[in-house]
Structure 1
Amino acid sequence: MASHRRPKQPSRARVTVLTAAAATAVALSAQVSAHAAPAKPNKDEVKAQVDKLLDEQEQAAEKYNGAKEKADQLRKQADQLQDQVARGQERLNEVSSGLAAVAGDQYRQGGIDPSVRLMLSSDPDGYLSQASSFDQAASTQAETLKSLEDQQRRLSQQKQEAAAVLAELDSSTQALNDAKNEVKSKLEEAQSLLNTLSAADRLSITQGGGTASRGADRVDLSNLPQAGGYAGVAVSKALGKRGAPYVWGATGPGSFDCSGLMVWAYAQAGVSLPRTSQAQGSVGASVGTDWHNAQPGDLVVYYGDRHHVGMYIGGGMVVHAPHTGDVVKTMPVDAMPISTIRRV
């Protein structure tokens, strides 16, 4: 008869080890799942994030424009003050040399009182004329001393002014670099998001329809009202730059940012505009916020912080430089919230 052995039961210790191993495996599996790469964002999600980043980039770009304008002005002012200091030092040296010559002459004369020297002179007939000459010399010496004091005081003031301007320039340069770094950071972040998409999707976001592109360029220019004067020139020049790339900090003629396009277009008409969209939001006369009251050439400034600007061209449209990756184009005037409309 065959014998049947009862299967050996696993020991309690082995069961415990197996159970622990299984639990560990489950925990590790859960941990791996928790740290798995997040789901890839879809096109709409990327577009929303890119729109936000490009708006923030444009805000930083206008900060950069303002800081650069201020730094340029301060640098010019500092150069002028330093030139004044150099010229003042030259004048001070000249006065000092003249005073030194008078002192040297007195030393060579032995420091004798002029009247005593004249009384001991072998030419009494020349006493009066020489006395007059000594009086004039003394007067000249007094004037030289006063001029020396004035030059020293003026030079000291010029040096203080130059030092203050240079200190302000350092601060402005730091603000300029901070704004530049912020722009680059926003652009790098936006590009990183765009790189998760196909080339076609990237192009549709940066130059396609919707918020990211701020509108398509489909206006029929033949139906636009014709503006006259310098406003008409500015409109014509701005429209002539359609297709030029947006480059932050650029004022033409080959590339532009939003405020740079306004500056360049009006400069062609002989009108000087401030550099930033914020400053352009205070130029000229206010037309309010209702675009129906706008005329061709008016500046339409957008958002509460006024970080974007376009030029009204009529027909409910503006021409503007949208953002990095896009080109100068037209869009409906009310495609973004209007902060103010200004007539230059």
Structure 2
Amino acid sequence: MASHRRPKQPTRARVTTLTALAAAAVALASQNAQAAPAKPSKDEVKSKVDGLYDQAEKATEKFNGAREQQRKLEKEIGQLQDKVARGQAELNEMRDQMGSMASAQYRNGGVDSSIQLLLSDNPDEYLAKASVLDQLSAKQVESVHKIQEKQRALAQERQEAAGKLKDLADTRKELGEKKAEIQAKLAEAQKLLNSLTAEERQRLNDDDNTRASRGGGGGGRGGSLDPNVKGSGHAGEALAYAKTKLGSAYISGYEGPNAFDCSGLTQWAYKQAGVGISRTTYTQVNDGTRIGRSQLQPGDLVFFYSDLHHVGLYAGNNTVLHASNPRGGVKYENMDYMPFQFGVRVA
């Protein structure tokens, strides 16, 4: 007769081990799920990259402003230092003259004047010399006053130079901080772009290339690119020069001739046309007369975003020619893709 064995019951230790293994498997699966989040879509990457470029451009314009302030301070400090050096040389010369007068007075004034008069063979000649001595004393007093005034002026100039040197140090610190901020934003944007496949990046570029010729955005004004649009006067000349830089790279802080940021391009273009405008978007808004959208003519400056951190040149037909961002460089773009604020007609 066959015997039947009862199945062996798992021991408590075995149950504990199996439970621990199961928990570990669940934890590992959870960690893997957290370590491999869903890959962002092309549109999500574009949105994030555009946001990072926008933040980098805001920092760029502040960087440009700080650099302009640095240049101004360096020039003023140089002029002050030259002025102090000239003043010190003048002061040294005045002191030398003062010493010469004091020596002459000592040599000639050691004997009481009444005794000198009695011993003099020619009283008239002595009286003439005494008059000279009196005049010398008056000059000496005048020289003392001049030296004191020069010393006060030099002390004030040195204090002014010291203040500007402190401002320069603060400005250089700000420059370093803004540069680091820009580089961090751009590096993050590039990392996102690198996460796309070659096909996705190509589709992204194709989408960008349609912006100059398609309508869209909130305004719905449409717009079509006409590269033959010409302006008049200096604005027209500035636009013509800017067209020669189509395809150039966008690099933060650059102002030509081969790479630009947005305000660097507009400044460069107007400079070629013989008109000097300031360096940043925040100051270029005051380089002419503000005008509305319906008044725009080719070559006018056009500003975007509520804080006015982006600028380009109006190219006609609701199109802007601008240094767009590190991915797009200098190109045409439909104005409806950015929040337009106003235009500026440079005098």
TM-score greater than 0.5 by the shorter chain = yes
Instruction: Please tell me whether the aligned partners of residues 290 and 344 of structure 2 are also in contact (alpha carbons under 8 angstroms).
Output: yes
1:267 aligns with 2:287: no
Could you tell me how far 1:128 is from its partner in structure 2? Answer: 2.6
Q: Report the 3-state secondary structure (helix = DSSP H, G, I; strand = E; otherwise coil) of the residue aligned with 1:221.
A: coil
> Which residue of structure 2 aligns with residue 132 of structure 1?
131
Alignment equivalent of 1:215, drawn from 204, 211, 218: 211
Could you tell me how far 1:22 is from its partner in structure 2? Answer: 4.4
Could you tell me how far 1:332 is from its partner in structure 2? Answer: 2.0
> Which residue of structure 2 aligns with residue 37 of structure 1?
36
| 1:63-212 correspondence to structure 2 within 5 Å | 63-109=62-108, 111-113=110-112, 116-202=115-201, 204-205=203-204, 207-210=205-208
| 1:46-61 correspondence to structure 2 within 5 Å | 46-61=45-60
Could you tell me how far 1:304 is from its partner in structure 2? Answer: 0.4
Single out whichever of 311-320 and 153-162 deviates more from structure 2. 311-320
Q: Distance in 1 between matches of 2:16 and 2:242?
A: 78
> Which residue of structure 1 aligns with residue 256 of structure 2?
252
Q: Distance in 2 between matches of 1:304 and 1:204?
A: 30
1:334 aligns with 2:336: yes
Identity %: 43
Q: Report the 3-state secondary structure (helix = DSSP H, G, I; strand = E; otherwise coil) of the residue aligned with 1:271.
A: coil
Provide, for residues 163-187 of structure 1, a one-character-per-residue CA deviation record: whole Å limited to 9, x for no partner: 1111111111111111111111111
| Change over 3 Å in CA distance of 1:263–1:7 after alignment to 2 | same
Instruction: Please tell me whether the aligned partners of residues 318 and 330 of structure 1 are also in contact (alpha carbons under 8 angstroms).
Output: yes
Q: Distance in 2 between matches of 1:151 and 1:340?
A: 52
Alignment equivalent of 1:241, drawn from 238, 245, 248: 245
Provide, for residues 246-293 of structure 1, a one-character-per-residue CA deviation record: whole Å limited to 9, x for no partner: 1211111111111111101111122111111121122211113xx222
Gaps of 5+ in 2: 214-223
Q: Distance in 2 between matches of 1:111 and 1:203?
A: 99
Could you tell me how far 1:240 is from its partner in structure 2? Answer: 1.9
Alignment TM-score, normalising by the size of structure 1: 0.89
Q: CA RMSD of the aligned region, Å?
A: 2.3
Q: Report the 3-state secondary structure (helix = DSSP H, G, I; strand = E; otherwise coil) of the residue aligned with 1:148.
A: helix
| Change over 3 Å in CA distance of 1:186–1:157 after alignment to 2 | same
Q: Distance in 2 between matches of 1:87 and 1:203?
A: 64
| Change over 3 Å in CA distance of 1:136–1:199 after alignment to 2 | farther
Q: Distance in 2 between matches of 1:80 and 1:329?
A: 41
Q: Distance in 1 between matches of 2:85 and 2:112?
A: 38
> Which residue of structure 2 aligns with residue 282 of structure 1?
286
Aligned residues: 336
Instruction: Please tell me whether the aligned partners of residues 85 and 159 of structure 1 are also in contact (alpha carbons under 8 angstroms).
Output: yes
Residue identity in the other structure for 1:270: G
Q: Distance in 2 between matches of 1:204 and 1:54?
A: 19
Could you tell me how far 1:26 is from its partner in structure 2? Answer: 4.3
Residue identity in the other structure for 1:92: L
Q: Distance in 1 between matches of 2:7 and 2:197?
A: 62
Residue identity in the other structure for 1:313: A
